[in-house]
Amino acid sequence: MDPWERATSGLPAPLVAVDLDAFDANADDLLARAAGLPVRVASKSVRCRALLERVLARPGFAGVMAYAVAEAVWLASSGVRDVFVAYPSVDVEAIRAVAADDRLRAEVTLTVDSVEHVRWLRDTLGAQVAGLGVALDVDASVRVGRLHLGVRRSPTRTPAQALAVVRAALGVGLDVRGVMTYDAQVAGLPDAGPHVRALKRRSVGELAHRRRDVVEAVRGEVDLRFVNAGGTGSLHLFRDDPVVTELAAGSGLYAPTLFDGYDGFSPRPAMAFALPVVRRPARGVVTAFGGGYVASGEPGWSRVPSPVRRGLALLRTEAAGEVQTPLRGDDADALRLGDRVWLRGAKAGELLERFDTVRLVRGGALVASVPSYRGEGRNFG
């Protein structure tokens, strides 16, 4: 019997489980690839306070990279230190909560990426804007002529553009604390062939030079607390960059299927979910309840969950459905009604938006059941 199945036998499904041995091994791998630089934990890829606390208790991990200001307020209010919200926000209520509380102002850093956003903060907060901590998000994509390779994030790319934002921020009284560059086309893209590897090599080289120039320009105006770079798929590529002071990672702790295809590391699958078999519509086919936990991003088969058992596969005509997921394969006829099939999600933390409780297992035994963000009644978008 599969260790996950043995550990959760008798629990109602659908359910999600995290293997703590694999989780801890993946944390060790991230630290080894960081080679001494602190790793800031990306909370969007974890979405479970108990597991965030588990990884933050390990020497080498320092601070949280949050995805929403309301989330940062919640985490910091519960004792989490050094929370950097790595996405610009216009959540007026949450931002005012940070600005109005001395402890939150000390622990929470917001993101700006344009003069427009700086002015919005000034107009929204008035005198309360003074001393609010911010970091500058710098575009890390690759430009080949008019071709944009990477995600659409910050409009700030050059040293001159960065200086304009930083000077505007200082001019309204903001406390500029850091710079970040997130290389999505390297960190989040599996090594799917020579063309992808060539893109990554070009990205790493170009970004290192441009980041150095941006950081040098910004440091001419302000002392920076941090320069953040990388992600699960790329932190080992930036650990030797002399201007980088910290790295970021989160998805590598759970190791979803999108991280199965990287050359530089091989994380252990640490999270899976179980669905109960509820139908047998034909020979060689069973149908499980639920399962339509399709990951965000570019639509395609890389975003759907994958059965753990090699003898089962999703039907190409249906994939994973809202309330039912049919599976075909050699193992289907051996499954009975009520048996469970295990699948892995394509991405990490967002899977927990479907589950209130995370079952923590080790060595084939259930060791704890802890709430996800959703289980604590928290939804940050």
pLDDT for res 231: 85
What CA–CA distances, in Å, run from 166 to 126, 127, 150, 290, 348?
Answer: 18, 18, 24, 48, 33
> 234 pLDDT exceeds 60?
yes
- Alpha carbons 151 and 187: distance in angstroms, whole number: 11
> 199 pLDDT exceeds 80?
no
pLDDT in tens, 216-228: 999 999 999 999 9
Choose among 275, 265, 266: nearest CA to 344: 275
For 155, counting Cβ atoms within 10 Å of its Cβ (0-12 exposed, 13-18 middle, 19+ buried), the class is: middle
Q: Give the H/E segment covering residue 371.
A: strand 365-371
For 140, counting Cβ atoms within 10 Å of its Cβ (0-12 exposed, 13-18 middle, 19+ buried), the class is: buried
CA atoms within a 13 Å half-sphere pointing along the CA-CB vector of 46:
29
- Alpha carbons 283 and 349: distance in angstroms, whole number: 35
pLDDT for res 381: 82
> 190 pLDDT exceeds 70?
no
The CATH architecture assigned to 3-14+267-373 reads: Beta Barrel (2.40)
- Alpha carbons 170 and 176: distance in angstroms, whole number: 7
Q: What is the mean pLDDT of residues 272-300?
A: 94
Q: How far is CA 148 from the centre of its chain?
A: 23
> 122 pLDDT exceeds 80?
yes
What CA–CA distances, in Å, run from 207 to 25, 188, 213, 245, 334?
Answer: 30, 16, 10, 15, 52
What CA–CA distances, in Å, run from 1 to 276, 278, 340?
Answer: 16, 20, 11
- Alpha carbons 147 and 355: distance in angstroms, whole number: 40
> 32 pLDDT exceeds 80?
yes
Interaxial angle between packed helices 92-99 and 69-77, expressed in degrees from 0 to 180 and rounded to the nearest 10 = 40
Q: How far is CA 208 from the centre of its chain?
A: 22
> 192 pLDDT exceeds 80?
no
Contact 236, 35 (CB under 8 A): yes
DSSP-derived letter for residue 267 is P
The CATH architecture assigned to 67-249 reads: Alpha-Beta Barrel (3.20)
pTM over 0.85: yes
Q: What is the mean pLDDT of residues 297-324?
A: 92
- What residue segments make up the domains of the chain, in order of their start? 3-14+267-373, 67-249
pLDDT in tens, 316-333: 999 999 999 999 999 999
- Mean pLDDT (the chain, rounded): 91
pLDDT for res 144: 64
Which of 101-105, 203-207, 301-305, 375-379 is predicted least confidently? 203-207
Q: What is the mean pLDDT of residues 51-64?
A: 98
Q: How many residues does the chain have?
A: 381
pLDDT for res 211: 87
* pLDDT band at residue 102 using 50, 70 and 90 as cut-offs: very high
DSSP H helices in the chain: 3-8, 20-34, 49-56, 69-77, 92-99, 102-107, 115-125, 159-171, 184-187, 194-219, 235-238, 251-254
- Alpha carbons 268 and 262: distance in angstroms, whole number: 13
pLDDT for res 219: 95
* pLDDT band at residue 198 using 50, 70 and 90 as cut-offs: low
